[in-house]
Amino acid sequence: MRYLITGGAGFIGSALANRLIEAGHEVRVVDDLSAGEPSRLHKDISFTRGDVNDIPKLWSLLQGVECVYHCAARVSVPESVLYPRDYNAANVRGTVSVLEAVRDAGVKRLVLSSSGTVYGEQQTQPLHESMSPDPRSPYAVSKLAAEHYVRTCGILWNIETISLRIFNAYGPNQPLPTSHPPVIPSYMRQVQKGGSIVIYGTGQQTRDYVYIDDVVDALVAASVQPALDRLVINAGSGVETSMNELVEVIGQVVGRTPNVLHNTSVSGGVSRMRADLTLAEEKLGFKPKITLAAGLQRMLELDARFAKVK
């Protein structure tokens, strides 16, 4: 098949692009490099630097494409609280631009990389797709809006659309910006260096951490499995891990006792997250394979940033 991946030089997009090219598909990537790194991409992937809101450029890249993965987005929950307008421009307007280009180019399937954050605070766990979303950040709002645009425009323009609600993805070479870094690589780096990590609140708040290879399994299935049109499907590990448990596992894998500082204030967000994978298994044949401990061990072995720390 011939694919276009927006945001394909980012963490999830590049892992997906490399998997597809290794499987013998033709892969095109467009990325504005605001967070992506072309060096992550296999040499046979066709890379174009560009913004998804540049519809003429998108249209030219979509010629002959059979499936689009829309992964381009700004992805930091804390940052979105500070800059909601930027998140709306990138994640909502950008999605609409991609949909218009897909319509005009005649592409028949689009897979949206959405987020488990759209669920917000729910009374019960695990989180299943029939729940009413309750987004608690501009990032989550932007992803929910993108889902609605994808489904509605798909119906109107005869595009088969699928939205995957990806939970807390992690893995080797996950970006580690100085501002608002993701939890797992940030904590691992600090533990390796003997530095301190901060846990907000009680540390009992939970997340569903899913290894990048498992995320890619779900994404690949979403482009080929039949009878997925208009569906929203979870992609997580199905395991609920508290912050305290995460720090303990990181310490065991790294081989150092973490130096933990507790901040009594609560950092925001939601208290619990765990993906229900019933629909993912039924529709995608998706079963996550990598445990948290195994995934963290792979990060140590495969990510040169951690290997250099003594």
Catalytic residues: 139
**Residue 25 carries which side chain, given as an amino acid letter?**
H
Q: Are 59 and 101 in contact, with CB atoms under 8 Å apart?
A: yes
Give the pairing type, strands 168-170 and 67-70. Answer: unpaired
Closest of 30, 34, 1 to residue 14, by C-alpha: 30
How far apart CA 85 and CA 88 sit, in angstroms, is: 5
How far apart CA 283 and CA 281 sit, in angstroms, is: 6
Burial of 96 (0-12, 13-18, 19+ CB in 10 A): middle
How far apart CA 132 and CA 256 sit, in angstroms, is: 42
How far apart CA 116 and CA 169 sit, in angstroms, is: 10
Phi, psi of 255 (to 5 degrees): 90, 25
What are the beta bridge partners of residue 163?
Answer: 112, 232
How would you label 130-159 residue by residue, b for 16+ Cβ within 10 Å and e otherwise?
A: eeebebbbbbbbbbbbbbebbbebbeeeeb
Instruction: Locate the DSSP E strands across the chain.
Output: 2-6, 26-31, 46-49, 67-70, 109-115, 160-166, 168-170, 196-200, 206-207, 209-211, 231-235, 241-242, 259-263
- CA 20 from centre of chain: 17
How far apart CA 292 and CA 86 sit, in angstroms, is: 33
Phi, psi of 260 (to 5 degrees): -100, 130
What are the beta bridge partners of residue 70?
Answer: 6, 112
- Tokens of residue 85, six digits: 């307008």
